[in-house]
């Protein structure tokens, strides 16, 4: 019995499975999948991690979780210890570039990208709901309340990925489903061609016989009245016969301009879910995954460096990995901090490292609050202006730790007690005022400080 009890691999598996119950998937993937059990006895479980950075991170972020799980399993007070086990040196598989860049692998009939699956989709707070809803739709297409399902959000945040994942997964479960997957531009083109060739009936039949209709980027229907008309009828036919419709868009449907109101009101009968930019930890998890997919082992300090500077979207993160790989193998140089810094500078341009300043904070607040920068640093006591000013002061303090006095000087020569009052006011407001909380999050995110 003792043999089983102290079998390090089996024991680690139990701990791992219990951690899975309490930590989000991306954390498990980034920080626990790479762990190798080294030894285990009645007192300590020794766990190998790939680098010092990794060790410090996991120790400072997850040590309580690990210890709690151990306490739950072994009442006897088993402790754990991490040690660094150097992984193999950086491996760059040159052939992976050639392998990855040519055309996307797609299934033959429905041009679904077979790489866009749920298990390759990394989940964080920013996209968890969208993924859950998508999975649920793929399990019972048409037979749920999420019809249409609309996935919306900025570029490169995984909308197309999720939509294809719905198609791929539904097809796996129900191989005979007819899935029609198309971008709104292709739909438009198809329609225009059918008009030209007098084949509108065939056009309509093709779309209306779908079991699952996936249309990407419906914002491009904007201003195309006749196409919208066609889409409206197709939508109704499918919806009434309980077929699943999934759409993606760059904005919340209610805020979309140039789409007919009757269409927008149809959309309300379903569910709209958003994808947001990933926070720091999710970016780390995505980078680890993308590096692995490309056969690249990067030092954790490099991963952290990239995640700190490339913040906007997943496509950029992916592009950065590919660019690093390409640069290193084409120029035949090692991947080190310099190379990575060069690539990042290329990608973020002048914003590199100097995007955080009082000016920039005021600018962002001005954009969000619609109060001009001049007013923010001016004297007016009008409520919305004073609030934008207080918010800017709060963020300077919060993000940069600027002294109260310096903040006061910048904002029109106010004294430090005024600044202190402003910081306190916003600190209180952010717990009750959702709009305020959103603005804070959004400025922090844009400046790359959402992770602090």
**Site of interaction with ligand ADP (CB under 6 A):** 116, 120-122, 127, 155-161, 286, 314-315, 318
Nearest distance from C-beta of residue 83 to ligand ADP, angstroms = 30
Nearer to ligand ADP, 296 or 440 (CB): 296
Nearer to Mg ion, 83 or 189 (CB): 189
Q: How far apart are CA 180 and CA 238, in angstroms?
A: 12
Nearer to Mg ion, 160 or 366 (CB): 160
Nearest distance from C-beta of residue 131 to ligand ADP, angstroms = 8
Report the partner that residue 411 touches, choosing among ligand ADP, Mg ion, none (CB closer than 5 to 8 A by kind): none
Nearest distance from C-beta of residue 121 to ligand ADP, angstroms = 5
Nearer to ligand ADP, 220 or 394 (CB): 220
Q: Which residues contact 381 (CB under 8 A, 6 or more apart)?
A: none
> Tokens 């600190």 identify what position?
427
Q: Which residues contact 290 (CB under 8 A, 6 or more apart)?
A: 317, 318, 321
β-sheet bridge partners, residue 152: 249, 274
**Residues within window 350-379 making contact with Mg ion, judged by CB under 5 A:** none
DSSP 156: T
**Residues within window 156-185 making contact with Mg ion, judged by CB under 5 A:** 159-160
Report the partner that residue 291 touches, choosing among ligand ADP, Mg ion, none (CB closer than 5 to 8 A by kind): none
Burial of 270-301, coded b for 16+ CB within 10 Å and e otherwise, reads bbbbbbbbbbbbbbbbbbbbbbeebbbebbbe
Q: How many C-beta atoms surround the C-beta of residue 150 within 10 A?
A: 23
Report the partner that residue 227 touches, choosing among ligand ADP, Mg ion, none (CB closer than 5 to 8 A by kind): none
CA atoms within 13 A on the CB side of 205: 4
Nearest distance from C-beta of residue 151 to ligand ADP, angstroms = 8
Q: How far apart are CA 129 and CA 275, in angstroms?
A: 8
Q: How many C-beta atoms surround the C-beta of residue 402 within 10 A?
A: 20
Between CA 38 and CA 48, with CA 44 as vertex, the angle to 5 degrees is: 30
Nearer to ligand ADP, 45 or 151 (CB): 151
Specify whether the CB–CB gap between 153 and 83 falls below 8 A: no
Report the partner that residue 50 touches, choosing among Mg ion, ligand ADP, none (CB closer than 5 to 8 A by kind): none
Nearer to ligand ADP, 211 or 289 (CB): 289
Report the partner that residue 157 touches, choosing among ligand ADP, Mg ion, none (CB closer than 5 to 8 A by kind): ligand ADP
Nearest distance from C-beta of residue 427 to ligand ADP, angstroms = 32
Nearer to ligand ADP, 82 or 116 (CB): 116
Binding site for Mg ion (CB under 5 A): 159-160
């Amino acid at each position: 019995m003792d043999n089983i009890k102290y079998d390090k691999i089996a024991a680690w598996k139990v701990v791992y499975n219990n951690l899975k119950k309490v930590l989000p998937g991306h954390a498990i993937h980034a920080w626990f999948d790479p762990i190798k059990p080294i030894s285990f006895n009645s007192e300590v479980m020794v766990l190998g991690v790939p680098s010092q950075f990794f060790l410090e991170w996991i120790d400072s972020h997850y040590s309580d979780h690990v210890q709690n799980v151990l306490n739950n399993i072994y009442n006897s007070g088993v402790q754990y210890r991490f040690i660094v086990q150097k992984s193999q040196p950086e491996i760059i598989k040159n052939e992976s570039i050639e392998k990855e860049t040519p055309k996307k692998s797609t299934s033959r009939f429905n041009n679904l990208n077979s790489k866009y699956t749920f298990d390759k989709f990394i989940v964080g707070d920013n996209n968890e709901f969208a993924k859950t809803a998508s999975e649920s739709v793929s399990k019972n297409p048409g037979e749920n309340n999420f019809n249409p399902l609309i996935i919306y959000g900025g570029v490169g945040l995984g909308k197309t990925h999720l939509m294809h994942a719905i198609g791929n997964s539904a097809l796996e479960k129900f191989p005979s489903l007819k899935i029609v997957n198309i971008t709104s531009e292709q739909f438009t083109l198809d329609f225009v061609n059918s008009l030209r060739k007098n084949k509108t009936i065939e056009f309509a039949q093709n779309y209306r016989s779908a079991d699952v209709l996936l249309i990407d980027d419906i914002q491009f229907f904007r201003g195309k009245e006749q196409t919208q008309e066609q889409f409206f009828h197709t939508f109704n036919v499918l919806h009434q016969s309980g077929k699943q419709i999934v759409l993606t868009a760059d904005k919340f449907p209610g805020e979309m301009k140039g789409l007919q109101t009757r269409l927008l009101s149809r959309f309300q009968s379903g569910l709209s879910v958003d994808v947001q930019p990933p926070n720091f930890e999710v970016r780390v998890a995505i980078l680890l995954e993308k590096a692995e997919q490309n056969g690249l082992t990067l030092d954790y300090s490099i991963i952290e460096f990239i995640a700190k500077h490339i913040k906007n979207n997943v496509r950029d993160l992916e592009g950065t990995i590919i660019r690093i790989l390409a640069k290193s193998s084409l120029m035949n140089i090692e991947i080190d901090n310099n190379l990575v810094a060069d690539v990042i500078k290329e990608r973020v341009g002048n914003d590199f490292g100097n995007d955080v300043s009082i000016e920039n904070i005021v600018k962002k607040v001005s954009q969000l609050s619609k109060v001009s920068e001049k007013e923010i640093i001016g004297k007016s006591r009008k409520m919305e202006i004073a609030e934008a000013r207080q918010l800017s002061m709060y963020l300077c303090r919060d993000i940069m730790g600027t002294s109260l006095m310096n903040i006061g000087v910048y904002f029109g020569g106010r004294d430090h007690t005024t600044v202190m009052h402003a910081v306190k006011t916003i600190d209180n407001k952010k717990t009750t005022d959702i709009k305020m909380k959103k603005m804070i999050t959004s400025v922090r995110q844009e400046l790359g400080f959402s992770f602090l």
